[in-house]
Amino acid sequence: MSEPDPFQTQAQTPAQHWPSTEASADQAGFVVAPALRSVEEEFADQAADFARLKHRDPTFRRLVAYYTSLSHNIGAIETGVEPASEEFLAMLKNQQSQARSEISAALQQTPLY
């Protein structure tokens, strides 16, 4: 009997598509961080406007970079890679939420051309 190919992709149901937010350990015992959703994935329904605004507006690009940085920092703290207090983590999540709101507002103001 042949072993399944670990590199072969399999169709996933929507519930399987989103990764777990919990860290896991690989076979060697290293902590494996959960896959983070990119900001582009969070605004997938507005992908064309997102790409256009990101290309044309340097302020929007900086906001997206800031959001991405916050997301990586939050992921590192939640998986135990970076130590931090609960208060600090809550502050980062609040900042990320504010950045997400600003991104959403900028997308709402984007002309449809």
Instruction: Please name which of 76, 73, 77 lies closest in space to residue 96, comparing C-alpha atoms.
Output: 73
pLDDT, tens digit, for every residue of 10-32? 444 344 434 444 444 555 555 55
pLDDT, tens digit, for every residue of 85-112? 999 999 999 999 999 999 999 999 866 5
List of residues 6+ apart from 102 with CB closer than 8 A = 63
Looking at residue 9, what is its pLDDT? Answer: 43
